[in-house]
Structure formats: C-alpha cells, structure tokens
Amino acid sequence: MNWGGAAEFFAMGGHGAFVWGSYAVSALCIALEAWLVARRNRRARAA
C-alpha cells in the first residue's frame, strides 16, 4: 500500500472515522475490562 502522506493514511480512503473509531472503542473496552478485573481481585483479597 502506498499513501501520499499521513493525512491519506488516517483518512483510509474515506473510512478513517469508522476504522479509528473502532480501534478507540476496542481499546476502551480492553482498558475497562483490565480495570474491572483488578478491582474484583482487590475486593476478593480484602474479603
């Protein structure tokens, strides 16, 4: 794949909002799950 510049790469042929939005939602879900697991672990050890 050959892009003319960074702007073309991030635009992804007009689908950039969907692609980067999907990455952002996925990263948020992974971070939330890691935080919830750590919280459950702390509560289980305290009990």
pLDDT of res. 13: 87
CA distance 15 to 8: 11
CA-CA distance, 11 to 18, in Å (whole number)?
A: 10
Q: According to the model, what pLDDT value does residue 47 have?
A: 83
The values of phi and psi at residue 5, to 5°, are: 175, 180
Beta strands in the chain (DSSP E): none
Predicted confidence (pLDDT) per residue in 2-38, tens digit: 778 999 988 998 999 999 999 999 999 999 999 999 9
Angle at 20 between CA 19 and CA 22, to 5 degrees: 65
Indicate whether this model's pTM tops 0.85: no
